[in-house]
Amino acid sequence: MNTVDPIRDYRKLKDIEEYLKRTSERNWLLFITGTNTALRISDILPLKVRDVRNKQTLTIKLEKTEKVHTIQLNKKLRKAFRMYCKDKPPDEYVFKSRIGKNNHIKRGQAYNIINETCLMFGLDNIGTHTLRKTYGYHFYELTKDVATLQAILGHRSPTETLVYIGKHQESVNKSMDSFEL
């Protein structure tokens, strides 16, 4: 199974954010929405201005599980959405495509944006799911609270969560590296 990695290096994560903010506000907002909500790209792309403008929380029906999910938007995202959406009509897609009248960018375009940007910063094994995994990785690094992270990500077990964010493999690698006979 070919899986993508989170962005583990915090400084590199911030450098990518700064680069995207300078070069494309839409792409920057896409990136920080993923890294600050742990939503899947399939749940981010269809967001409309009315879903996020002046909101403290985001309530959406998740595409994969079809469950209704409410997310607390952090201060950074609330400010970013407020500024980005201020002059846009409520029915416009937040991540609007240049193709068509009012379409959102497609998953393939989101992949290209994320992958090409991360390659510029020396990161590979990156995809749209990298944003969600990056949230999980840094949440765990900061809090070590696997139970809450498991709930945020909707996983069935703590082990599933640790494997998902790459911490299980890091632990295995560290153990193997320090073990000698």
List the catalytic residues: 40, 64, 129, 132, 155, 164
Indicate the DSSP class of residue 69. E
Other C-beta atoms within 10 Å of 93: how many? 18
- Residue 39's nearest CA partner among 128, 166, 142 is 128
Helix (H) or strand (E) holding 70: strand 68-72
Cα distance between residue 80 and residue 8, in whole Å:
23
Contacts for 89 with CB less than 8 Å, ≥ 6 apart: 49
Q: Phi, psi at residue 57, to the nearest 5°?
A: -130, 160
Amino acid making up residue 7: I
